[in-house]
Structure 1
Amino acid sequence: MKSAMSKRKQKETCGASAECISQVQKILRERFCHRPSATGKLFGIEFQYRHLLELLKRTTLHGESNSALIVGPRGSGKTTLLNHVLKNLRGMKQVRGNLLEVHLNGLLQTSDKVALKEITRQLQLENVVGDKVFGSFAETLAFLLEALRKGDRTSSCPVLFVLDEFDLFVHHKNQTLLYNLFDISQSAQTPVTIIGLTCRQYMKIFKEQLSLPAEFPDEPFAQKWNDNIQHLSEDKIVQDVLQNLFHHTKDLRSLYFLLMLAVSAVSVQHPLLTAADLQEASRQHSTDSKANIVHGLSVLEICLIIAMKHLNDVYDGEPFNFQMVYNEFQKFIQRKAHSMYNFEKPVVMKAFEHLLQLELVKPLERPSARAQREYLLMRLLLDNTQIMDALQVYPNCPTDVKQWAASSLSWL
């Protein structure tokens, strides 16, 4: 009887009808899954937004050539920032119809030849090019841009090149595309962008993303909900959960996934989020199938993963190849002078290929028949936290291997 009265009292206090809870779940899930269209807000990058907008206005209105490189971790808002700028730019009367855009992606345009073909398609110049034969890449690109000219420089239509996955274009042979885009006929270029977030800003995003909007149909409940979110943001347990996630990854998609898991616990009987809900969501979030796969690897395969971890740390997440991993592994062997790790190179390659099969490592592009396996660019699909957590429970892991993994720098 007491329990039933307690539940009824909680329901009356929070005003949490089934319809109300359903609305909460609907609003927040849509926000976490479709964040750009849900709030239309930029977090902590207002200065960068104004700077980029002004730079592109000078290009479109005054014919001024510029270039910018926006740098930051995945999910930090690079594409969102650029999309906001372009949306507002296209809405300006002076700009409308006066800007041509070419969007390239290093994951799709894997060679300069493919990129040039895509530029021609997006500028709708296939018919102009026709069967013409050009002597060089530079000549072809110059012809394409010349075909867009209306007259002198002031009346030429500006072209904006957006290079997503910019670092992959750097690996193109001779970097022909990049050199010509920078050099040719005052072209405008905006390579893709990355923006970091402070921990304080991270908490602001947490509160704003969980808060109910002013137009929520049940205003008293929305007020209680938002007050509760404010209290949660000041809770030490919640702050620890968010700080651990922030150290694990700066990707906002991970934060939204964590919040999605926590919101799933909300019901008529449990109408307000608690710190325990976020703790449980964090536990579920950290449950990782890839980390579990690590438990079944050989010591050699574990060593290769540690070598990749150090390469990521030293080169700030840049792609690597097998030869780089092998060299890093050799440094460890030479330092330890331990015969148990001294494998022949073909054996090490076999172990590396097994990691590929397990999808713990991923090539940046589909390898061609002529490509040398040792030099194909790869990315590790495990982060440092997953690796270290897996090593803690790895059966009979040698002490020196654990120490190597825990060291902050590679064996230089």
Structure 2
Amino acid sequence: MTGSVARVRTEVLAKLNGRRRAHIVGLEHEHREIRDLLEGTIESGEGNSCLIIGPRSTGKTTLVENTLEEMEGKYPGQFITIRLSGFCHGEDKMALREVSRQLDYAFAQSAGKSVYDIDTLEKKSMTETVASVLSLFESGVSENSVAVVFILEELDRFAQSPRQTLLYNLLEIAQTSSVGVAVIGLTARINSRETLEKRVRSRFSQRVYQFRRPSNIDDFWRVVRNNLTVSTDEHGQDGAQWNDHIQQLYESGGTLYDLVEHIYYTSKDHRQLNALLLYAVSRADPFINPADLTKYRDQQRISDTQSFVDGLSELELALLICAARAEVKLESDTMNFNLVYDEYAEVAKEISRGRAAVTTTDIDSGIAMGARAGYRIWSKEAARAAWERLEAMDLILTINSAPSKAPTSAVADEIKMVKVDAGLLELGHMIGRGHTLFEWTKL
């Protein structure tokens, strides 16, 4: 393998495992909107805010980070980026301390000094830390003032804190600060805006961008191909040959097409496909061997989850599959018992109607098929008991939310938000095509 071909493979592997961000496909309008928002903050000192909502793996973070990288090239040294995550900084005090730390680090870097050699914003007292951060934004504009961009990943977790102090302060700063401030929130929860308190919502600019999964397999392939191909400007003829090879693999209708089709019609999560393709790309010499495309998936060890799934009753398995279906259909990684039971009842009724139609046809033909008629739909009480057993086995994971003083009850359990431990694609592989519920793993 020549050095140039090895560089092509290295770049593709970096995009598949997330070490290198791919260019955004199909989000050109949203990219322009975010770029204009950031330029207004950096160039004109505007205070801006927006909320980006969409399922996981739809490009929210990648779009924002690519746009920030573009701004750094166009406006070097003219803005500071503060990144917070609801997973790490869900508590307001912790988040405000992290804001002060990142600001201290940015100021020390611009001055060519160590953080220990400057008068830091972070103080021992939380009150002093908050006051020093707020005074920074309240001070007048100077020649050396720079804009500040706040990126809030998992914004819905910040909204769970009492009084939402962090969100209120950041949006208040964006409105009143003497320097340009932008607040960009990202979340996979579709009702995040409704969870904001009135005083927080009143300071929000109401810019909301909805990201969605690809609506057809051609759009999904464009996203996948973007991760598998390289720029011909950088890699020349070798890059062009690699790109042609990838397109031919897909258009031939072979293994690559089957993998793309299967994941599109189950989870629509291109990251699952990236994981499956890593093995084949790592062995490419100089091109991908089609036989390697499924070898990684076929040789994966059976997960601990499968040992639980094999022992589930039909009702328990049906609820688990319906939870995974709801995850894909609602484009949200959280759901509750009520949503899952509604999905279960809907699918079961469709199966029952289908079997009844087949039975009627067979009777008309003189064939007795009474045993196949209908499909039993279990009551909500029976389903709740099965749901509790899934929780006990950690196949359904409870989401920790803000503490509540309300007593637990059956109603509270039904609306309690949870995550499913296995995806729809994974469940389909576990139970196999011969299982009576395999068709349920297809949307």
Sort the TM-score into its range (normalised by shorter chain): 0.5 to 0.7
Matches within 5 A, 1:152-163: 157-163=146-152
Which residue does 1:173 correspond to in 2? 162
Matched with 2:263 is 245
Give CA-to-partner distance per residue, 1:223-279, whole Å, 9 cap, x none: 655443332232123434312222333333223223223335545xxx643555545
Unaligned runs of 5+ in 1: 1-16, 135-139
Matching residue's letter, 1:32: L
Alpha-carbon distance between aligned partners in 1 of 2:272 and 2:7, rounded to the nearest angstrom: 23
Q: In 2, distance between residues paired with 1:196 and 1:70?
A: 14
3-state DSSP of counterpart to 1:192: strand
Q: Does the CA-based 8 Å contact 2:345-2:377 persist in structure 1?
A: no
Distance 1:149 1:50 in 2: 30
- Give the RMSD, CA atoms, in angstroms: 4.8
Out of 134, 138, 141, the residue aligned to residue 145 of structure 1 is: 134
TM-score by length of 1: 0.67
2:389 is the alignment partner of 1:351: yes
Q: How is 1:14-29 mapped onto 2 (pairs within 5 angstroms)?
A: 26=10, 28-29=12-13
**C-alpha distance 202-308 of structure 1, shift in aligned 2 (>3 A):** closer
Q: Within the alignment, does 1:58 sit opposite 2:40 as a pair? A: yes
Per the alignment, residue 234 of structure 1 pairs with 251
Q: Which amino acid aligns with 1:120?
A: S
Describe the superposition over 1:78-125 as per-residue Cα deviations: whole angstroms up to 9, x where unpaired: 2222222222323334x62x4233221111122233323323333348
Aligned-pair identity in percent equals 25
Aligned to 1:378: 418
Task: Provide the aligned length of Structure 1 versus Structure 2.
Answer: 366
Instruction: Write the mapping of 1:5-404 to structure 2, written as runs, cut at 5 A.
Output: 26=10, 28-36=12-20, 41-93=23-75, 96=77, 98-124=78-104, 127=121, 131=125, 133=127, 144-151=133-140, 157-184=146-173, 186=175, 188-192=182-186, 196-197=213-214, 199-207=217-225, 209-211=227-229, 225-237=242-254, 238-264=256-282, 266=284, 272-273=287-288, 275=290, 277-278=292-293, 290-291=305-306, 293-299=308-314, 301-302=316-317, 304-306=319-321, 308-309=323-324, 312=327, 315-320=330-335, 351-356=389-394, 360-365=395-400, 374=413, 377-388=417-428, 390=430, 402=437
The alignment partner of 1:248 has SS state of coil
SS at match of 2:156: helix
CA distance in 2, matches of 1:31, 1:406: 29
Secondary structure at 1:123 match in 2: helix
* Residues 45-68 of structure 1 deviation map (CA, whole Å, 9 limit, x = unaligned): 333333212211101221212112
- For residues 26 and 406 of structure 1, what CA distance do their matches in structure 2 show? 35
CA distance in 2, matches of 1:56, 1:218: 34
Q: Secondary structure at the match of 1:171?
A: coil
Tell me how far apart the structure 2 counterparts of residues 226 and 319 of structure 1 sit (CA, whole Å). Answer: 37
Tell whether the 8 Å contact from 1:363 to 1:376 is kept in structure 2 after alignment. Answer: yes
**Alpha-carbon distance in structure 2 between the residues aligned to 1:154 and 1:19:** 48
> 2:308–2:393: 8 Å Cα contact kept in structure 1?
no
Equivalent AA in structure 1 for residue 251 of structure 2: E
Instruction: Report the Cα offset of residue 380 of structure 1.
Output: 1.1
- Cα distance in 1 between the residues matched to 2:136 and 2:434: 62
Per-residue deviation, 1:190: 0.6
Counterpart position of 1:12 = none
Contact 2:174/2:183, CA 8 A, preserved across alignment: no
Find the counterpart in structure 2 of residue 11 from structure 1: none
Q: Which residue of 2 aligns with 1:6?
A: none
Give structure 2 stretches of 5+ with no counterpart.
105-118, 176-180, 188-210, 350-375
Normalised by the length of structure 2, the TM-score is 0.63
Distance 1:215 1:349 in 2: 54
Structure 1 pair 312–116 and aligned structure 2 pair: CA distance change class (3 A) = same
Q: 1:88 to 1:292 in 2, by over 3 A?
A: same
Conservation of the 8 A alpha-carbon contact between 1:320 and 1:377: yes
The secondary structure found in structure 1 opposite 2:54 is coil
Q: Distance in 1 between matches of 2:213 and 2:383?
A: 42
Kept after mapping to 2: 8 A contact 1:52/1:85: yes
Contact 1:361/1:378, CA 8 A, preserved across alignment: yes
Inter-partner Cα distance in structure 1 for 2:227 and 2:293: 14
Letter in 2 for 1:379: K
